[in-house]
Chains A and B, each alone.
Chain A
Amino acid sequence: MAKEANVVEKEEVFVRFSGDSGDGMQLTGTLFSDTLALGGNDISTFPDFPSEIRAPQGTVAGVSGFQVNFGNTKISTPGDYADVLVAMNPAAIKANIKFTKHGGTIIFDRDSFNEKNLVKAGYKTLDPIAEDKLEDFNIIPVGVTSLTKETLKDLDLDNKSVLRCKNMFALGLICWIFDLKLDHIESYIRTKFRKKPIIVEANLRVLKSGYNYGENIQELTPRYLVNPAEIEPGIYRNISGNVATAWGLLAASEKSGRELFLGSYPITPATDVLQTLANRKDLGVKTFQAEDEIAGICTSLGAAFAGDLAVTSTSGPGFALKSEGLGLAVMAELPIVVVNVQRAGPSTGIPTKTEQSDLLQALYGRNGESPCVVIAATTPSDCFYYAFMAAKIALERMTPVVLLTDGFLANGSEPWKIPSMSDMPAITPNIAKDAATYKAYARDPQTFAREWAFPGMEGFQHRIGGLEKGITGSVNSDFNNHQDMTDARAAKVAQVVDYVPDLEVLGEQEGELLVVGWGGTFGHLATAVRQLRNEGKSISLAQFNFINPLPANTREVFAKFRKIVVCELNMGQFAGYLRDKEPGFEYYQYNKVMGQPFTVHELVDNFKKHLEE
């Protein structure tokens, strides 16, 4: 699949606050935008909605709102479509939904969703999510009213004054989501209500409550959207990386005819893969929420042994726990897919922040000589394709495959031209056919893949395990056999290069500076490279999806540039890997571990320096 060449970075975010006129949305919006401005963001605000974006006449008259558009780049006008809608009641959703981006985030006060309010807002059913087809939005229901009341239950305040603090809860929550400090808002509250200490106390408490709530639920709102600049005709939908990953696995299950089994343990930011698949029992998926990460992979190993397309999904620390299980998959040669949605590490790290620092763990984090196929997705929507490919390779070559995505891809979303299943490649699992000659570890002479036979298949009874074995699967500790088996396992993984398309270069095929990246940094790297190319600079980009094995033409591509800079959200893991696998080049590095994606500006600055040297 050719990469989208026309990718622009979305560095603006549009947040709309909406509620009853008594809900304090104007103040909330103002405080939010002031805080943003103090944080160095360029902002544009609109303190009420223009008439044309009001709700249709006769429905939700009381809705009041405030919108703010902010970002690193120069913002000239408030945007038309909100990335995030904060809705204090059902009418606010009804009025604003068509001005909210496909797949955007809706934070709403769950407590306001009673029959009375729903009817008032013009809903015909008691389920506005289904009625307005909001399933593809990032829906965050929050008990704003009840949590505000709970926060203030020991203060001597009347109910009306308590309810007036609701907006501070929403404000605190949204400040957490956008990493904003509360100082400015707190000092505003202290000044504004200085004559009423109890009101100061109440507002501060609720503000903090909302902020802490965000931290507690680790809500991840996509802040960065990668939008294709030129859109091909077709039917589109919005999709996030985690949903795309889950759907890619479903597609592989349908194409291969093997049932999909997911053994998984909830972990930020990978949980949505489990949740998405748990919702797809209609497509026959078996999801198993395991007691821990280890059981997540071990149940998958069992399912792979029994003939399923078996998957486990996790993030960094969970991936560490799966190491021994993954080693067993390597040794037993079972087809499993391990999805690692990377986050900032080490250890617990920063669960909600993105990083690419599990690369070496994926490549090498096991005991013994234990090669694995490692591939990485580059955009939220191509998680679909690479999850599909991970499954295809696993099933056809009888090897575990690690799919690396990251928090940025997982929670980021983009419009996606819906593929047709008839256009997806076939998947032919390597299932044994002849019981009379079956040997569990007899290999295809070209691919080195063994054949798959599973319980229930008459005449194929055999034993496998984690001990070194001979061709039948029986234990064999002979030294020559161990060397041969080790060589065969490595050759099998190396031969997966059959699936790896040639490395594509975005820009001229030769020149001064080659920017090298892998995985989820594609949007930012492509934008920076394009910007410099538009200025006439000799700069190109090579983004890797296949890490092990590397594309066959990697050396050839590298050799045509004077300088190579490897950019990644870690301290140089891919650069080190390239020095080992493709020696003879000087690899400059650009690294960042701040829990944030690259910014185009910093990349452009760095590339310019390289070009000037």
Chain B
Amino acid sequence: MDDQITYTQKDFKSENEVRWCPGCGDHAIMNSIQRAMANLGRKHEDFAVISGIGCSSRFPYYMSTFGFHTIHGRASAVASGVKCANPNLCIWQITGDGDALAIGGNHFIHLVRRNIDINLVLFNNKIYGLTKGQYSPTTDRGAITKSSPFGTIEDPFNPGKLVIGAGGNFFARSIDSNVKFTQEVFEEAARHEGTSVCEVLQNCVIFNDGVHNAITDPEFRADRQLFLKHGEKMIFGANNEKGIVFEKGRLKAVTIGQDGYTLDDILVHDAEEPTGWLQMLLCSMGLPELPVAFGVIRSVKAPVYDQVLVEQIEEVKASSPIKCMDDLLNSGDTWEVK
């Protein structure tokens, strides 16, 4: 972190015309990312934005940073290579529910497992937008889409559970329309050392408009959104009158002061708990019984791949008698022919 560095959001905008549909949630997410980048105290040339394929993956072209728009599903692998080659970079991987969890599912879980220091932003609109409206691995069971005219017959991935299940150490959830909150989540993700996955619920205005409306509806959202903060009670509702308790092995939403529940019964959020069992339950929370959890659900310190990679090389270099190619060529079993 260099205190001398001051940027604003516009330092991260490129000259390219942004071609997402008017009203697309991607615009807001890009604003949040650009604002977060400006606050990180990192040099502009040390940012690299890596994406796969899909609407969101056009992202690098709209940024003024180094960028690489790769191929479908492979951004996790490409970004891993970039970070290992130069661990000093601040890498942002931009991906969608299809790119990360369907065609790129294997790379995604292995990135998370290795804990390479990459900030992965997963735009989740529960639909394939670029190919015009087929169901994705996060589409709700039964949803009618272009490729499921009678409703899907498969269950979706829950990205948070997938991340924790794969041994991930950082997972946060946000929503496109809440630019300020999303920006804060991104900054926390960027400061986390290791892979950080931020799922952003994003509205596709054309092919899945309103998919998150039940959560975002201004009339009900105070009752349907739980904003988690490490060390604070899990309280929600328009007047902070509701909370989450753990009862009979399950999470339950209660009203404080009713049915004998007091503030003391409400769970305190521990994002740093390593096993992740309760964080997993928080990821699973959903309407209608429970609010949807937002914020940093999991943030655990763990060995970071790219750091250990460099440390191991330095250790071996220090102890090995082989310092250059000529040493290697002449090592071991050699003989002279006269």
Contact = CB atoms under 8 A, between A and B. Distances in A.
- Determine chain A's interface SS by DSSP, over half rule: mixed
Instruction: Give chain A's interface residue range (CB within 8 Å of chain B).
Output: 35 or more
A466 B70 contact: yes
Contacts of B79: 302
Interface in A237-277: 237-238, 247, 250-251, 254, 259, 261, 263
A568 interface: no
B316 interface: yes
A398 B226 CA distance: 51
Contacts, number: 214
A460 B110 CA distance: 31
B74 A325 contact: yes
Contact of A463 (B66, B77, B88): B66
Contact of A306 (B53, B77, B85, B333): B85
Contacts of B324: 254, 283, 421
A319 B227 CA distance: 47
A562 B259 CA distance: 101
Contacts of A324: 71, 74
Contacts of A310: 81, 85
Contact of A302 (B46, B50, B110, B309): B50
A288 interface: yes
Contacts of B70: 298, 301, 328, 465-466
B334 A235 contact: yes
A310 B82 CA distance: 11
A291 B106 contact: yes
B110 to A, nearest CB: 4
B336 A461 contact: no
Contacts of B14: 463
A285 to B, nearest CB: 8
Nearest to A306: B85
Nearest to A299: B81
Interface in A413-464: 417-421, 454-464
Contacts of A328: 70-71
A261 B84 contact: yes
Nearest to B53: A466
Interface in B299-336: 309, 312-313, 316-317, 320, 322-326, 328-330, 332-336
B322 A283 contact: yes
Interface in B58-100: 60-61, 63-71, 74, 76-86, 88-89
B312 A281 contact: yes
B69 A286 contact: no
Interface in B108-135: 110
A463 B84 contact: no
Given A290-B77, A295-B110, A298-B107, A419 B329 contact: yes
Interface string B152-184: 000000000000000000000000000000000
Nearest to A462: B66
B332 A284 contact: no
B313 A286 contact: yes
A135 to B, nearest CB: 5
A327 B72 CA distance: 13
A295 B114 CA distance: 13
A332 B79 CA distance: 15
Nearest to B73: A294
A467 B335 contact: no
Contact of B325 (A135, A283, A461): A283
Contacts of A224: none
A461 B44 contact: yes
13 contacts: A233-B336, A247-B328, A254-B324, A261-B81, A263-B81, A286-B84, A286-B313, A298-B71, A302-B80, A303-B81, A303-B85, A324-B74, A466-B71
Given A305-B82, A463-B63, 6 more contacts: A234-B336, A261-B84, A295-B74, A324-B71, A462-B67, A463-B14
